[in-house]
């Protein structure tokens, strides 16, 4: 069995509401998605910021190493 990033555990998925820029309907985008089709008008709705594992994954420091994690988070 191959190893997966600990952040890929689908039991920890979250959801955020976004407003469709075309029709104003509320759509849900899950944490593992980048875009979804609006349920109302079919327009593609994109996340405002693309997800990065260093922003949400508790194992990011372990995966990429302390030094690189600090660089990416702006700590150096």
- H-helix or E-strand spanning residue 38: none
E-assigned strands of the chain?
Answer: 15-19, 26-30, 35-37, 44-46
pTM (predicted TM-score): 0.56
User: Which positions ≥6 away from 63 have C-beta within 8 Å?
Assistant: 5, 6, 7, 53, 57
Place 4 in a pLDDT band, splitting at 50, 70 and 90: low
- What contacts 52, CB < 8 A, 6 or more positions away? 72
**42 pLDDT exceeds 80?**
yes
């Amino acid at each position: 069995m191959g190893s997966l990033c600990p952040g890929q555990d689908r039991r920890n998925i979250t959801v955020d509401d976004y407003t469709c820029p075309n029709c104003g309907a509320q759509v849900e985008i899950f944490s593992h998605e980048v875009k979804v089709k609006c349920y109302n008008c079919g327009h593609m709705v994109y996340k405002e910021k693309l997800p990065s594992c260093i922003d949400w994954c508790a194992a990011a420091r372990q995966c990429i190493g302390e030094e690189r994690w600090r660089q990416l988070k702006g700590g150096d």
